[in-house]
């Protein structure tokens, strides 16, 4: 996808791939990247660690997700304790199990401290990935992991909320007209996280479907713009728009 290509072009990701190819990838890694790409980073790193087989819609039998996006999904101490049990289980289909800790830079001290031992001494068949938007993982965890930075183009790193007013939409259309498809889709991933956190699940579902359609059909930036504007500003039913894409 466009977002995957953007991530893979970064120096940080290339360092990860090189370490994996050389068999030198540590069992505990931290990736600092915009939160809009956490889902894509999870999928890419998951395939790197667990292999390309047995994935179904972003899920894998040996992938353990701890937390998610939004304030309500920051991993709590009970989540971190469950992680330690699950990662110690024997892998189902791969050679190891992978636990992904979302929003690791926002963990409460008690939750983070509960992960110190498992981070320093993961089970032989276990690996951990800490996802953080800012380089603020507590020092006791950070000293036990290899930190990698996924640097994206400046225009992709700017976080803007989904347009609401007519002026918002006019501004977005003007700014995004100069962006590539990858940057547009990345911005939309940020909106998706925002909508989900605000429990606007219908809009979130429509936006998620649109992102997937744009990636699968390799749509141009202009077409993506038109579709977003039609569905979310003019409120044309998504089913009608989807039919026009077939």
Tens-digit pLDDT profile for residues 79-127: 999 999 999 999 999 999 999 999 999 999 999 999 999 999 999 999 9
d(CA 186, CA 3): 6
* pLDDT at residue 246 greater than cutoff 70: no
H/E element, 177: none
pTM, whole model, 2 decimals? 0.76
- What local confidence, expressed as pLDDT, does residue 98 receive? 96
- Average of per-residue pLDDT across 197-207: 87
d(CA 60, CA 119): 22
* pLDDT at residue 170 greater than cutoff 80: yes
- Average of per-residue pLDDT across 217-230: 87
- What local confidence, expressed as pLDDT, does residue 47 receive? 93
- Residue where the block lists tokens 């990736």: 31
Lowest-confidence pick of 164-168, 225-229, 241-245: 241-245
Q: Of 31, 16, 29, nearest to 131 (Cα)? A: 31
- What local confidence, expressed as pLDDT, does residue 208 receive? 86
- What local confidence, expressed as pLDDT, does residue 123 receive? 93
Check residue 245 and report its DSSP letter. H
d(CA 152, CA 225): 21
75: left (phi over 0), alpha (psi -120 to 50) or beta: beta
Mean pLDDT of the chain: 88
- What local confidence, expressed as pLDDT, does residue 149 receive? 94
pLDDT-derived band at 193, boundaries 50, 70, 90: confident
Alpha helical stretches, state H, the chain = 2-8, 11-21, 38-50, 77-86, 109-113, 116-120, 139-142, 154-157, 166-176, 181-197, 201-217, 221-232, 238-245
Bigger pLDDT: 177 vs 55: 55
Q: How many Cα atoms occupy the beta-carbon half-sphere of 95 within 13 Å?
A: 7
- What local confidence, expressed as pLDDT, does residue 244 receive? 62
- Find residue 146's DSSP bridge partners: 29
d(CA 39, CA 193): 10
- What local confidence, expressed as pLDDT, does residue 239 receive? 78
- Find residue 127's DSSP bridge partners: 98
- What local confidence, expressed as pLDDT, does residue 107 receive? 94
């Amino acid at each position: 996808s466009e977002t995957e290509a953007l991530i893979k072009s970064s120096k940080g990701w290339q360092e990860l791939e090189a370490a994996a190819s050389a068999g030198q990838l540590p069992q505990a890694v931290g990736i600092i990247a915009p939160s809009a790409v956490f889902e894509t980073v999870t999928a890419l790193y998951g395939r790197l660690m667990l292999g390309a087989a047995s994935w179904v819609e972003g899920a894998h039998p040996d992938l353990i997700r701890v937390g998610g996006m939004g304030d309500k999904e920051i991993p709590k101490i009970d989540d971190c304790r469950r992680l330690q049990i699950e990662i110690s289980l024997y892998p189902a289909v791969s050679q190891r199990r992978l636990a992904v800790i979302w929003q690791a830079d926002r963990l409460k001290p008690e939750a983070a401290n509960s992960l110190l031992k498992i981070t320093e001494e993961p089970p032989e068949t276990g690996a951990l990935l800490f996802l953080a938007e800012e380089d603020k993982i507590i020092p006791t965890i950070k000293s036990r992991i290899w930190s990698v930075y996924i640097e994206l183009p400046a225009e992709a790193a700017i976080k803007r909320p989904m347009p609401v007013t007519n002026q918002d939409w006019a501004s977005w259309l003007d700014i995004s007209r100069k962006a590539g498809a990858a940057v547009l889709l990345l911005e939309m991933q940020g909106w998706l996280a925002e909508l989900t956190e605000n429990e606007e699940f219908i809009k979130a579902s429509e936006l998620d479907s649109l992102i997937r359609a744009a990636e699968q059909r390799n749509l141009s930036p202009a077409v993506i713009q038109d579709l977003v504007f039609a569905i979310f500003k003019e409120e044309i039913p998504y089913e009608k728009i989807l039919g026009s894409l077939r």
